[in-house]
Amino acid sequence: MRAPLLFAAVACLFVLTGEMQSWNVALAILNMALVSAIMAMGVNIQWGYAGLFNIGGMGFVALGGLAAVLVSMPPVPEAWAAGGVGVVAGLALGALTVIGAITLVRRMPAGRMRTVLLLAVLIAGFILYRRVFDPAVSAVEAVTPAATGYLGGLGLPILLAWPAGGLIAAGAAWLIGKTALGLRSDYLAIATLGISEIVIAILKNEDWLARGVKNVIGLPRPTGVPFEVELQRSAAFLDWAAAWGFDPMTASSIVVKLAYAGFFVVVLGLIVWLAERALRSPWGRMMRAIRDNEVAAEAMGKDVTARHLQVFVLGSAVIGIAGAMMTTLDGQLTPGTYQPLRFTFLVWVMVIVGGSGNNWGAVLGGFLIWWLWVMVEPIGLWLMEVVTSGMADGLLKNRLIEAAAHMRLFVMGLVLLFVLRFAPRGLIPER
């Protein structure tokens, strides 16, 4: 009975926001809450099912966003003509160098010969890669840099970017998992933290890929989601709004948000359904057995490292899907806005508060914590104004009112600490 009540309570928060502030704000929070819930599901699959400590969520979110650009933006033929071949060849050379180095280490017996050969392959490969790659990149980035300056995407419907985001994130996760999963848990944490920073660095600097900090804007919308301006011009919509007595501006923006919410609810529902099925299947029981006692599971003949890799890839794919959805919702990819506190650690708060190991808990945590994250600032400001209303104007008063802007981190930290201390199993505990 506990879970439905909690969900009803969170729903009340959103309704209250809608009634007291505006429905536009409430729906904007709801859309991001839906995306956050999916991110929390991804972290929950890794941490709750298998006990893997991944603090690189931000990187997978950003890879999902990259997928949105690569799938949906129109290709830039001039850029492809200028340096497309060179970029692809350069990347292939780089990959070949790494594969060659790995094969060398695996195939040759250790010794001075191997070290020398390895260094030779790496250095020669690097120089060759830079020789091919650098001129191609300059050529691509010189093509109308103010508008494009990158290779563009495939020009496909953006809905395809959601599974594509999952695939790209899964591929990255496979690479990370292959190297870091055999190590102990703290090292996986640091490794994922590092990878996520590197992903952001790549997105910020490789202009040929997705324009770097110049941002890609004006991403297409999914079929079925109209633009606000189109709605405001359509006579049918204006009549409909007038018949119900809505302001056409507000109504158009609400309709668009509802359309997005519809898509997001479908994806969230699908992922929750699949995750619930997986959790109740023999596979889910095996994962929990591995989480609770690795040695015993290994004694039963379970391949712990392979299962860890599997669940790490799955969870990261879910986070990647959420990342692609978020970029679709924003309509732009802005690498400068990816902050680890927001996209990694906040998602962790969602999972812990909601209840790790429980899919519904992760979803609830996503909704509740995202709402809190957005609303803490206005509430804090209001609180500070009430507190300081009796004070004379001065340094302390200004300081307190300014401090409201930083309430978010403070409240999130306190919530996390209190839940860990007094309700470590979260709001909806694992059954």
Partner 1 sequence: MDIINALVVFANFVFVPGLAYGAQLALGALGVTLVYGILRFSNFAHGDTMAFGTMAAILVTRGLQAMGISFGPLPTALIALPFAIAATAALVLATDRGIYRFYRKVRAAPVILVIVSMGVMFVMNALTRFIIGVDEINFADGGRFIIAAREFKELTGLAEGLAIRTTQVITVVTAAVAVGLLFWFLGNTRTGKSMRAYSDNEDLALLSGINPERVVAVTWIIVAALATTAGVLYGLDKSFKAFTYFQLLLPIFAAAIVGGLGSPLGAIAGGFLIAFSEVTVTYAWKRVLGYLLPADLAPEGLVQLMSTDYKFAVSFAILVIVLLFRPTGLFRGKSV
Q: Summarize as ranges the residues that interact with partner 1 (CB under 8 A).
A: 51, 53, 134, 179-180, 183-187, 189-191, 193-195, 197-198, 201, 204-205, 340-341, 345, 348, 352, 402-403, 406-410, 412-414, 416-417, 420-421, 424
Q: Least distance (Å) from partner 1 to the CB of residue 359?
A: 19
Nearer to partner 1, 199 or 268 (CB): 199
Nearer to partner 1, 85 or 403 (CB): 403
Q: What span, in angstroms and rounded, lies between the C-alpha atoms of 415 and 251?
A: 36
* Cβ pair 278, 272 in contact under 8 A: no
Q: Least distance (Å) from partner 1 to the CB of residue 126?
A: 8
For the chain, how long is the longest CA-to-CA vector?
Answer: 83
Q: Could you tell me which residues are beta bridge partners of residue 216?
A: 333
- Distances in Å between the Cα of 320 and the Cα atoms of 87, 260, 324 are 25, 18, 6
Residue 302 CB neighbour total at 10 angstroms: 16
User: How many alpha carbons fall within 13 Å on the CB side of residue 373?
Assistant: 21
Nearer to partner 1, 234 or 337 (CB): 337
Q: Least distance (Å) from partner 1 to the CB of residue 231?
A: 39
DSSP 158: G
Helical (H) or strand (E) element with 240: helix 235-244
Nearer to partner 1, 193 or 317 (CB): 193
Q: What span, in angstroms and rounded, lies between the C-alpha atoms of 286 and 289?
A: 5
Nearer to partner 1, 227 or 382 (CB): 382
Nearer to partner 1, 158 or 200 (CB): 200
Q: Least distance (Å) from partner 1 to the CB of residue 304?
A: 16
Nearer to partner 1, 194 or 331 (CB): 194
Nearer to partner 1, 95 or 183 (CB): 183
* Cβ pair 72, 152 in contact under 8 A: no
| 3-state SS assignment for residue 216 | strand
* Cβ pair 221, 196 in contact under 8 A: no
Nearer to partner 1, 25 or 118 (CB): 118
Q: Is 161 left (phi over 0), alpha (psi -120 to 50) or beta?
A: alpha
Q: Least distance (Å) from partner 1 to the CB of residue 295?
A: 15
Q: Least distance (Å) from partner 1 to the CB of residue 142?
A: 17
Q: Could you tell me which residues are beta bridge partners of residue 333?
A: 216
Helices (H) then strands (E): counts for the chain: 21, 2
Q: What span, in angstroms and rounded, lies between the C-alpha atoms of 155 and 229?
A: 23
Nearer to partner 1, 255 or 350 (CB): 350
Nearer to partner 1, 34 or 199 (CB): 199
Q: Least distance (Å) from partner 1 to the CB of residue 371?
A: 17
Q: Least distance (Å) from partner 1 to the CB of residue 291?
A: 11
Helical (H) or strand (E) element with 217: strand 216-217
Q: Least distance (Å) from partner 1 to the CB of residue 319?
A: 17
DSSP 152: B
Q: Least distance (Å) from partner 1 to the CB of residue 38?
A: 21
Q: Is 331 left (phi over 0), alpha (psi -120 to 50) or beta?
A: left
| Nearest Cα to Cα of residue 39 among 225, 200, 267 | 267
* Cβ pair 40, 354 in contact under 8 A: yes
Q: Least distance (Å) from partner 1 to the CB of residue 369?
A: 12
Question: Which structure tokens are listed for 5?
Answer: 């009540």
